[in-house]
Structures are given as C-alpha cells and as structure tokens.
Structure 1
Amino acid sequence: MTRLFLRPAAASLLIALSVIPTGRAAALESSTALRPVPLSIDERAVRAAGIQLSPIQPESGATDLSFPGMVAVPPQQIRVVAAPAAGLVETVLVAPDEAVRKGQVIATMRSPELIEAQRGFLTAIADESLAQDRLRRSRSLHESRVIPERDLRVAETEATNAAAKLDEQIQLLKLIGMADEGVETLRRTRRLMASLEMRAPMDGVVTIRHASAGERVVASSPIFTIADLSPLWVNIQVPATRLGALQVGSRVILPTQGAQGRVIRIGRTVDAATQSVAVVAEVDTNGGSVRPGLAVNVSVRVEQSGLAQWLAPPSGVVRHRDRTWVFTRNASGFLAVPVQVVAETARGVAFRADLPPGTEIATRGLLALVAELSETGEE
C-alpha cells in the first residue's frame, strides 16, 4: 500500500537525507555490489509528493578532483648522521639548507672513546703478532718432536683468538667512523688521532642541524639530518567518502607550483578524528618550486572507467545510509539506483551508473522516495 504521508519513523529520515551540496567535489563510491531497488508507488502518490523528473546528460572525459596536501621528503631519502661515540663536537662545517656531497667532511669531534678504541687496536696488533710468532715456534718444535701435539693445538687456538680480537678492534674503529685509510695509517704510524671526521653519507641537503660546535654529545646522538630532495612526496588528505575515485597511478598536478606526478599509495585506514585517508603521490620539484613542508592544493585526475558517466542536477543525487542514489521511473513506480559519484562542478553532479541514454531521474519530492527506500530495509 502506498503511503501519501510520512510516518513518524520516517521523520528522522529528513535529517539523514543529504542532497549533495553545490560547489565541492564528491566521492567516487564503490557500488558495484549493489543492485537497483524497486519502489512501488502509484501515480496519485507521485502527484501528492510533488515528484518531478529531469533528464540526465552524458558526460565524457576525465575529471579533476581537488584536495589539500603537504609536501614531505620520502623516508627512504632521509639519512641521519649520528655521533659515533660520546665526545665534544669540535667543528661544524655545514649549515642547514646547504647542499653536500657524499664523503664530504661535515663536522669533527673529539672523543675519549676514539682514543681508547685506537689503543685497543694497537694492543690487538701486538697480541696477534706475538700469537703468530708463538704458533710458528710451536710448529717447528712439534715437527722436531720436542713438544706434544696438545701444545701445538693450544698455540693455534691462541693465534685464532688473537686474530679475531684484532678484527673486532678494526670493526670497532669503523663503527666509530674511522675510514679504511685511517685504520691503515694508524697501523703503519702507531700514532693516535685526537679528532674524528664525520662525513656525509650521500648527496643531498642538510635539512636539520641537531648540534653545534662546542656541544657535548653522547653516542648515537643525531648531529645532522640530510635528505635527497628529488623527487618529493605529497601527503594528500582524502575524505573516506571520496576515496573510490582514486587509484594507484592516477595523475597528480600541483597547479600553483607547476609540478606533476602520480599516486603511489592509498592508505588502508581512516583517521578517526578527520574521517580521511592518507594518499601519497610522488611529484617532481619543477626546479625547486616544490619544497618540503609546503602546503599545496592537489588536483587529481580521474580518468573514465567502464561505466557511463552522467551529469545531473545536485538535487537529484541523494545520500542514504552511507550510499548515493538516484531515482528513475519505471512501470511500477520508481527504481532506486546506486551510483558512483565522481565530482560536483558548477554544472551539477557527475556520477557513474549503468543507465540508458535519455534516462530521467527525480529531482523534486525525493523525501517520499527515500522514505520508501528506507522501508525496503536496504542497508
């Protein structure tokens, strides 16, 4: 039986009914799993509800969606130069925002741990040399049957342990930051170095200087952050309801900066506070016009899909229970058709749905139709 007036339970539907507002982009929603829902309503009820129809217009070509974004450095292009040992930062040779080359000396520091590591290295060299001499003498005596084989095995073990200790000291010097050339110089000259040079691990730009000359630091304290600033990422905040319009590989343009790129990752979780999803795009810097920390307006190009795309008045597209619908006329009344909203422009709402050309949708009196849809139990 057709209802001409809304029941009390349907009154709350007036609050839930959302006609998509004019002047902003809308979401491309996944509705491929939904089917049209028939609504039985006779002609008298149509007139009483004031339902009016308007034709939809075919639309072709790509659509641009606009979102806010923030430029950031990709994490794999960031390196932190840390103090290899506790000590005093003696000199700082580069400043923030200064370009550096791989291997360039960027700071020097004095460290008691460096002195101790060098002393341990020289001691290990002497112990290893002595152990090798004992091993050669033990082999000679064993061949002459002067000492038993057990004494030879003891000498071999001592030589092996001494060699391992020397290798350990070499690795310790390298962890502290001494280059291979420095280790060989120390082995040859036996002269301890008072200062340690810190070098840039890659080509890039110093984005942060964490310590200054004269400052005492502990081991592993950050001294510099160096980053490669090309390419960069843009972290785009996309409302969850608009996420369906985007896909990995979608073209991205920064109109103000003249840079472009593509979407490389779409987040899988929704921020509870903002109800948005983080989408990451990789962009070029366009000669330095795009810089880390810059707030940008991002235009994402949404290409045509397999579904036909239509343009309708904003009043003809409604939100109901987190889905978007249009209502088309059929023989028994109306058909509630789930659609994928792409965007909204000044001309109207662009959406995708499998509809034949010349289809008319309801643009007035939709409250009665949404009440009927609610009564069907469609979730």
Structure 2
Amino acid sequence: MIAPPRYGRPGRHLRRRWCAITAVWLWLSMLAALPLAAAEPVGELVPLSADEQAALGIELAAPEPAGAAMSRRYPGKVAVPNRQLRVVAAPQAGVIEALLVAEGERVEAGQVLARLASPELVAVQGDYLEALTRLGLAGSELAREQMLHAEGITAERRIIEAQAKRRELATLVDQHRQRLALAGLEPAAIEALAESRRLSSTLPVRTPIGGVVLEQLADTGESVAASAPLYRIGELSPLWVEVHVPVGALAGVAVGGRVRLPAVGPEPGVDGRIITVGRMVHGEDQGVLVRAEVTAGTEDLRPGQFTEVQLLTVAVGEADGPGRWRLPRAAVVRDAGDAYVFAAADNGFRAVPVTLLAEEDRTLVVQGELSATDQVAVSGVVALKAAWLSGAGASADGRGGDDG
C-alpha cells in the first residue's frame, strides 16, 4: 500500500530563499521609484529620504584632508650601496691556512681575516732583498768612482755610468716594494723584512673597510689563485631599497621624495629618501627602478631582504586648486572615465566630480570641491550610482520629448 503524501511546513532552505527573493524585490521596487523623483541633470541632487538611505544600507563618513599620499605597496629589495661593498681576495696564489672570521661577524678596517701559505710570496720577498743588495753595491761603486775621479784617476764618464746604474736599481727596489704591498704586506712589515732578511711564506689577508661579513667565499685548506675572492664585506648603514614601479604610477615620484617601509609586527615603520628614478623600463614587469636610501632604522633591515615599499606621490603644501582628500575606495565611483563621490545634501545626495591622485592600500586620495564638514557615502554607493544614472536618463528623455 502506497502511503499518501505528507504536507508539512516548508523547509528552512525554502524560507531563506523566500526572504532573499523578497529583499531583492523590495530593493528593485525602491530603485524603480527613485527616477520619478530624481529628474535632475547629471551631477546634481539625487533625492533620497532617510528611510530610503537606511533601506539601501548607505553609511556616511567625512573626507579626511590629505596633505600627502602614499602609494599602494610595491615589493622592494634591500641592498648595500656599491660604495660600501668590498670583495676581499687572495693577493697571492696559495693555500688557505686559516679563516679567522665567519659570515655575520663585524670587522674593523685593517683587521686580519685569513692567513695564506704562499710560495709565491717567498719569491717576491727574495727578489726584493736581492734588489736591495744590488742597490747597496751600486751605491758603494758610485762612491768609489767619485773618489777616484777626485784624485784624477778615472774619467767623469765612469761617475755618470755609476749614477745611472744606481737609479735603475733604486727603481727596481721600488717595484719589488710595490709587489710586496700588493701581496698584502704593510709598510712596517716590509721594513722589518729589509732589516731581518727573513723570508716567510705566511701571508695575512686584511679587510680594507669596516663592516659586516656578508658572505664567506672559500674554505680552510682550499688552494686558491691570486685574486680569488675570500669574503664579501659590507657596511650596513645607510642601505638602499630598490623597487620596480609601474610606468603608469610614476606621476609625482621624483628624486628627493619620501618612501616608507611599513611596520612589521611591533617595530615602527622605516622612512627613506628617493635618490634615483631610473630611465629604463624593465621587460620582466614593465617597471622602472626607483632607489631609496634609508639612514635610520637600518638595524631592522637585512641585505637581500624582500620588503614592501610605499612611495610619497602627492606634494605637500600646494594651495592652488581644490583640496585633496582621503576617502575609502568604496566611496569613489566611475562613469565614462570620470570619478565621482556622493556628498550628503538636504533630502538626498549630490554627485561631486573628483580627480584621482593616488591609490593607497585601502583608501584613495582625490582632489575635488569637498570640505571637512561634508558627509560622503562610503557604502551603498552602487545603489546611489544606479539611482543617479537612472535619474540622468529620465532627465535626458524628458528634455528630448520637449525638444521634439
């Protein structure tokens, strides 16, 4: 036996669907009624009662004066300025006996970073000492020729030849001294070598600048050639922050402008100054290089770190023209390429044309005929725009009928 159908109460999903349909019908009915009252030209009053505003969910906020605006966040990279970077290389070929510092350590100018065992250093020292010996002999020979010439035994030509030989050997000694300096020996060590005449195969490698060891490029016991890199040293104050800015967003970006690295966690944000605006567009992202220098707060940054950067895009203090205002993104609507906001007026709203100056993270900076006492719609704006455009269309149709 087949049981008869049961007719109970509608399910919960049916009740929800019925409520949603009812709400949409009421909203459309309200919009249909608005154009009859909103028969004003474009840009003027859109009549709307308080009850209708509440039904459309319209909320108001005062525009915030914007003397300056920061752009949206762009990805940037922290870098060490070129003038503050050094690569410490092996001055002679040899074997690394010891590495005395490691990545992350701070070093002072002139500090010994590594020690090399270099047979070539022994050869350079030997050449220097040999040239010193020959120079001493040449000096003695010149003194002898001068004495013989004074006694009338030798001709003056012998003195001239001895002087030329001595100058030649003096030049050779200077040449070998320079080779020792290039090998990493300090002047005091070269003088000690000339006095003691003791050869050494151990060569200290020193850093020319103070800073932080950014990278260790060799290992203990490794055989390296002359000029092989051992360390990369960088002074970390100030630092550069490099960012690629789209070509269309470069308006107002100039050398001397300000940038800001937003705060991360409890730390405050870091400010910098633009020092370079590139001229080439990079093919990968169609961006232009903008480089800023950061002098304060560099202890919170690391070379190679990726961060977010905002650029100051609106100049401060310009008094000409309408004011600059900061508004939520939802407050601005666009129509036919123009931008508008809806400012509250008696019994409705008026559409105020504005010029978009900058796009920030959650807000826009605009320029237009507003004041700090105005109240601008920041929600329910889509419904306002629909009523405004419908009223404009009704006005155009009415004017067309009269003309016809």
Q: TM-score, normalised by structure 1?
A: 0.70
Residue 313 of structure 1 pairs with residue 332 of structure 2: yes
Q: 1:127 aligns with which of 124, 134, 141?
A: 134
How far 1:316 sits from its partner (Å)? Answer: 4.6
Q: 1:64 to 1:225 in 2, by over 3 A?
A: same
The residue type equivalent to 1:53 in the other structure is G
Partners of 1:68 and 1:297 within 8 A in 2: yes
Unaligned runs of 5+ in 1: 1-50, 319-324, 328-336, 366-379
1:364-379 aligned within 5 A: none
Deviation at 1:52, TM superposition (A): 3.9
SS of alignment partner, residue 263 of structure 2? coil
Work out which of the residue numbers 341, 354, 358 in structure 2 matches 1:342: 358
- Cα distance in structure 2, aligned partners of 1:98 and 1:179: 24
Indicate the residue corresponding to 1:205 in structure 2.
212
User: In 1, Cα distance between the equivalents of 2:183 and 2:363?
Assistant: 66
Cα gap change, 1:244 to 1:348, in 2 (>3 Å): closer
| 1:208/1:225 contact within 8 Å kept | yes
Assess if the C-alpha contact under 8 Å between 1:89 and 1:213 holds in 2. yes
C-alpha RMSD over aligned residues? 3.0
1:247 aligns with 2:249: no
Q: Is the 8 A contact 2:149 2:156 kept in 1?
A: yes
Partner-residue secondary structure (3-state), 2:300: coil
| Structure-2 separation of matches of 1:282 and 1:317 | 41
Which structure is larger by alpha-carbon Rg, 1 or 2?
A: 2
- Correspondence for 1:304 among 297, 302, 316: 316
Change (3 A) 1:213 1:58: closer
1:294-341 CA-partner distances (Å, limit 9, x unpaired): 1111122333364535569341583xxxxxx779xxxxxxxxx9x784
Deviation sequence 1:172-228 (CA, Å, 0-9, x none): 100000111111111011100120011122211111111111001111110110100
The match for 1:281 is: 292
- Whole-angstrom distance in 1 between the partners of 2:141 and 2:237: 58
Q: Which residue number corresponds to residue 226 of structure 1?
A: 233
Distance 1:208 1:232 in 2: 17
Provide the rounded CA distance (Å) in 1 between the counterparts of 2:116 and 2:44.
Answer: 77
Which residues in structure 2 correspond to 1:251-266 (within 5 Å)?
Answer: 251-257=258-264, 258=268, 259-266=270-277
Match of 2:56 in 1: none
Q: Which amino acid letter does the alignment assign opposite residue 104 of structure 1?
A: Q
- 1:79 paired to 2:86: yes
SS in 2 for 1:268: strand
Partner of 1:70: 77
Alignment of 1:1-379 (within 5 A): 52-53=42-43, 60-65=66-71, 66-257=73-264, 258=268, 259-284=270-295, 286=297, 288-302=299-313, 303-304=315-316, 306=318, 308=321, 309-310=323-324, 313-316=332-335, 318=337, 341-343=357-359, 348=364, 350=366
TM-score, normalization: structure 2? 0.66
Q: Distance in 1 between matches of 2:233 and 2:389?
A: 60
Separation in 2, partners of 1:344, 1:231: 27
2:100 maps to amino acid: L
* 1:69 to partner: Cα distance: 0.8
CA distance in 2: counterparts of 1:345 and 1:195, whole angstroms: 59
Structure with the larger RCO, 1 or 2 (CA within 8 Å, 6+ apart)? 1
344 and 104 in structure 1: CA distance in 2 versus 1, 3 angstrom threshold: closer
Q: 1:54 to 1:143 in 2, by over 3 A?
A: farther
Give the match for residue 45 of structure 1: none
CA gap of 1:276–1:147, structure 2 versus 1, over 3 A, is same
Amino acid at match of 1:225: R
Distance 2:361 2:100 in 1: 54
- Structure 2's unaligned 5+ residue stretches are 1-40, 46-62, 326-330, 341-352, 372-384, 391-404
Higher helix content, 1 or 2: 2
Counterparts in 2 of 1:103 and 1:326: CA distance versus 1, 3 Å: same
Contact 2:67 2:317 (C-alpha < 8 Å) held by counterparts: no
